[in-house]
Structure 1
Amino acid sequence: MELFANPWFLVYFLPAALLAWLVAWSGKKLKNRLISALFGPMAYAKLTADLRPVTWKRGACFGLFLFFLFAALAGPQWGTEIIEVQGSFAQTVIAVDVSTSMRARDLKPDRLDNAKTMLKMLVNNLKDERIGILAFTSQAYVQCPITTDEDALTYFINSLQPDMLPVPGTSLAAPVHLAARMLAKYPGQKALILLTDGEDHSPNELKAAQETALKNGIRVIAIGIGTKDGTLIPAKLDTTGKVIEYKKDKTGKTVVSKLDEKTLLALAQATGGAYIAYTTPAQVAAKVEASVKGLDKTSARAASRAIYKNRYALPLVLAILCLAAFLLWPRGNKRNTAQKR
């Protein structure tokens, strides 16, 4: 526990007290020079003979005022309370292709590693978004529910691996339908960020997926990762990461995986979204961030957390009392006539 929220204000008290003392000392010196010039020291002594000198206690009150004021600014804190953090957030789901084709190395080190690097940059930038993550092949599965927890999102992004799901193949419709179920309870315009090489083994299901996205107010931001020329898909690696065998189809022919931009572009246009060709992680993250701006936001609880109670009121009250004592303290009292005799 830290006793003060802003402890550096306690350090500021020292130069503030020194400055106040210098001002008072300089003012007294200037006053004495003016009095000597106007009245002469003897005349002023006679004029103030019936007044007591200003007591040191008045100066102490001003010093205590400064001390308690800076103590209040330092924010003394003890005891805890639970608060709920509220915020307005747009809703976005990120769908990542984890099929075998994402092992392809037309992007170094491979397609999925590039996707993960970009996504970590993206979730770090999207501070006003509640984000969910799903992974898909021919079926889609929720990896991380919709949340504002950046650490959780980063953890699940790092855990994405090719062939992590028990079903092979690729279906672009599957993540759209699952994202629609995840986002159905949120009103307004939402987004699905679909990161894939665009290969689709169930193209006949894509029309229904487009209708589902439109019905639920989901804009698809499709990111095509890979190259049009394509490359082979590693199937087996040695201990050093070198490819020793490439994927083959049922006929024994080596499979070449190519980026299918046409399908992704059609899906994005049909839902009022955008298609982004993958270049570098930073460039794509910036383009996606720009594409999701303008989504509808809803108020939601971001988190509940315990914080220390700020007790600034106590030293602030003491500071006000000390200032009042300084201002109201009598500057001098007439001496008793009997005492003068």
Structure 2
Amino acid sequence: MQKFQRLSLVLLFISLSLMLQPISHAQQDLKSPAAPTIDQPNALAAPPVIGWDQIAATVIEGQDLILAVRVKSIDPGDSVDIGITYEVYNGTAQSPADYNRTLTLVSNNQPINGTVAMRGAERVQYIKVDTNMDGNNNEGLETFFIDISVAGAQIDPSMGNRVTVTIAKDQKFYPAFADFQGCSDVAEPTNNNPNNGALLAINGGTCQSDFANEIPGDSDYYLLSQATNGSLRLLLANVTPNQHDFNLYLYRQRTDGSFEFLQQSTNQAQIADSISFAATANTVYLARVYWVISTGTATPVYQLSATAQ
């Protein structure tokens, strides 16, 4: 029995001695394996937001109307792939008596049939709506509606998908719809500033504006841009050549937002001013209509257009 006890004590002593020995280098370098890395799925990028520039427009009966649908929430360098479908509905205005139900895509002057694609660097589409003279001078304001639906994007929730178009008989309604024309002059006198320039739609047709309630030396500014390289022509026609003289100037926007002068056309009153230039894709250009002199009392009226060559 005593031998057994002594043997047990010896074994216990040997075990304790081994436990108290320092850990070897090899043992010290052993570490618990790192937890496995599990790739988390990337959050889906929010689709672009697209919508009308405005949701109400007024146009004089018999004139054309330019409307803009724009991508609003995507980085300038990102690519887009969006399909846009347009639907037109009668209101108090009826097609074809008051307007043409078929819309025209301004970029190629072709009727819109089905879905129109907006791809790559494209950020805006302009559409043209034709209104008709119906010979009824006693009717009041008439309205119709254009809706958009989109694929690969979301409708701007603050604007909705519908624009309401009002057809007016009287020229006194002219300022109300100017924002939607290829050229516009609705914000006088605040648009006598390049940064408040109105829109000039390329291939948007001839658009008419004026210097009502202004003085010689005032200017109107219009911004224009296109998604591809190409030659453009600006044409400024004087509707009141015996009364006034206008000049046309072209500028390009720098990266800091300022504008640098490019070209000018300063023909005399009876001759239209024209500037042709090579436009760089996605570059903002500025057209300036300058009222040089007045020799009569008529309201100074001009027509401005931008055409791809």
TM-score by length of 2: 0.27
Tell me: higher relative CO, structure 1 or 2? Use CA pairs within 8 A at least 6 residues apart.
Answer: 1
TM-score by length of 1: 0.25
More strand by share: 2
